[in-house]
């Protein structure tokens, strides 16, 4: 159990310090909104720049909370959980419509968060992608694929907590997954935090301006 995101961020940063060569050209990216707070703290420990990477989960037509995939800004980032899509008999029209809606939402959020600030150059760099935890891992997979489109040297995922199933999925996408906990009983990321208040868009914008 972590006290809050700040404590979890410091702990995952300490683990990254053990494993990384700080002479490498490092960049930390955070998935909004909680992941941007994690990224800002981790980047201080690693003495490198941080940025936001916007991805959105594709919700099931039967439940908005259930992710059947996710996407980032570019086409190559699209991730679809085909087993779940087939199981739920999700039709292609729904998927196509939802993907187009989310592309517009991602553009809007990028613009809102960045406030005209240009994204960091990722080409040739070791990119660390963070969040406050991962349940299905869908948005993280989309983030990793988005980053690979930018020709980095290496992609590392850093998470305080995730499910064991998600760990296996993420290991197929990135060079390395660094984490603190992969518990057997996992219902939601928030259960592993004493304090898990929502991070506002205003807070994310403020962090990115620092």
Distance CA 77, CA 105 (A): 15
pLDDT at 85: 96
Residues 83 and 174 in one domain: no
Distance CA 170, CA 175 (A): 9
Residues 163 and 94 in one domain: no
pLDDT at 128: 99
Q: Give tens-digit pLDDT for 158-208.
A: 999 999 999 999 999 999 999 999 998 898 999 999 999 999 999 999 999
CB of 146 within 8 A of CB of 78? no
pLDDT at 56: 97
Which residues, in sequence order, are bridge partners of residue 181?
A: 161
* Strands 67-71 and 126-130, bridge-based pairing: unpaired
Which regions of the chain are under pLDDT 70?
none
Residues 49 and 69 in one domain: no
Residues 138 and 197 in one domain: yes
Single pTM value for the model = 0.95
Tell me which residue range forms the domain holding 41.
Answer: 5-55+127-209
Among residues 158, 124, 161, the alpha carbon closest in space to that of 144 is found at 158
pLDDT at 20: 93
Edge-to-edge strands, sheet with 79-80: 56-59, 67-71, 79-80
Residues 45 and 144 in one domain: yes
Residues 105 and 186 in one domain: no
Domain count of the fold of the chain: 2
């Amino acid at each position: 159990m972590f006290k809050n995101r700040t404590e979890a961020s410091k702990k995952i940063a300490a683990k990254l310090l053990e494993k990384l060569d700080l002479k490498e050209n490092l960049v930390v990216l955070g998935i909004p909104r909680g992941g941007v707070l994690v990224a800002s703290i981790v980047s201080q420990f690693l003495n490198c720049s941080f940025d936001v990477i916007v991805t959105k989960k594709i919700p099931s037509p039967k439940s908005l909370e259930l992710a059947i995939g996710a996407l980032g800004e570019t086409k190559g980032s699209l991730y679809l959980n085909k087993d779940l899509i087939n199981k739920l008999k999700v039709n292609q029209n729904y998927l196509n419509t939802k993907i187009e809606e989310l592309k517009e939402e991602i553009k809007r959020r990028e613009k809102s968060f960045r406030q005209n600030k240009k994204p960091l150059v990722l080409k040739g760099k070791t990119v660390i992608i963070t969040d406050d935890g991962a349940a299905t891992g869908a948005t993280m997979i989309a983030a990793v694929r988005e980053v690979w489109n930018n020709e980095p040297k290496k992609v590392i995922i850093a998470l305080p907590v995730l499910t064991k199933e998600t760990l296996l999925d993420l290991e197929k996408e990135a060079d390395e997954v660094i984490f603190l906990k992969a518990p057997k009983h996992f219902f939601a990321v928030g259960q592993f935090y004493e304090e898990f208040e929502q991070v506002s868009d205003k807070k994310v914008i403020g962090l990115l301006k620092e």
